[in-house]
Amino acid sequence: MAATMTHPKFDAPALANLVAAFARRGKAIRYHGRLSVSREVEEHSTERLNIDYASIGPVGTRLLLSAWATGDWWFLTCQPRAGRNAGWLFKHELRGESAHRLADALVKSFEDSMLVGYWSEGEQLTKLQEIWQVSPRSAEA
């Protein structure tokens, strides 16, 4: 795998800052798994940044982060059970707003979430809510 990765360009300053923060930490993140960064343009020319990570270790955790130019973000982490159509060992979804958080803080939350597969089932959601600084109510919305 290449030491550097080309990232898409964004018009929205908040998304450009976030993709730059992921670029700075990309090598460290890719050391533990596969990372892809993409740009989508939705209706009304709204930009969206998509981050997709799949661990290469025995845990097999997947993390997905989408961030919009509006400051909203959506995060999903999951681990499939072994076997075809076996469901999930865990699947947690969070939503929030990044307007009050720096891009580097969001990347740190993403990296800290990479450990979710090593936490007990009972503490996963609580730890994720703490890491992403969301309340239980907004996490379930």
> Which residues constitute the domain of residue 56?
13-140
Look at residue 2 and give its three-state secondary structure.
coil
**For residue 4, is it within any domain?**
no
Domains in the chain: how many in total?
Answer: 1
**For residue 66, is it within any domain?**
yes
CB 7 within 8 A of CB 22: yes
What is the spatial distance between Cα 140 and Cα 51, in angstroms, rounded to a whole number?
A: 21
**For residue 88, is it within any domain?**
yes
pLDDT-based confidence at 36, cuts 50/70/90? very high
Burial status of residue 60 (CB atoms within 10 A of its CB: 0-12, 13-18, 19 or more): middle
**For residue 135, is it within any domain?**
yes
**For residue 47, is it within any domain?**
yes
Looking at residue 138, its amino acid is S
Give this prediction's pTM: 0.87
**For residue 48, is it within any domain?**
yes
pLDDT tens per residue across span 40-75: 998 887 899 999 999 987 778 999 999 999 999 999
**For residue 7, is it within any domain?**
no
pLDDT-based confidence at 4, cuts 50/70/90? low
**For residue 3, is it within any domain?**
no
Looking at residue 8, its amino acid is P
CB 69 within 8 A of CB 14: yes
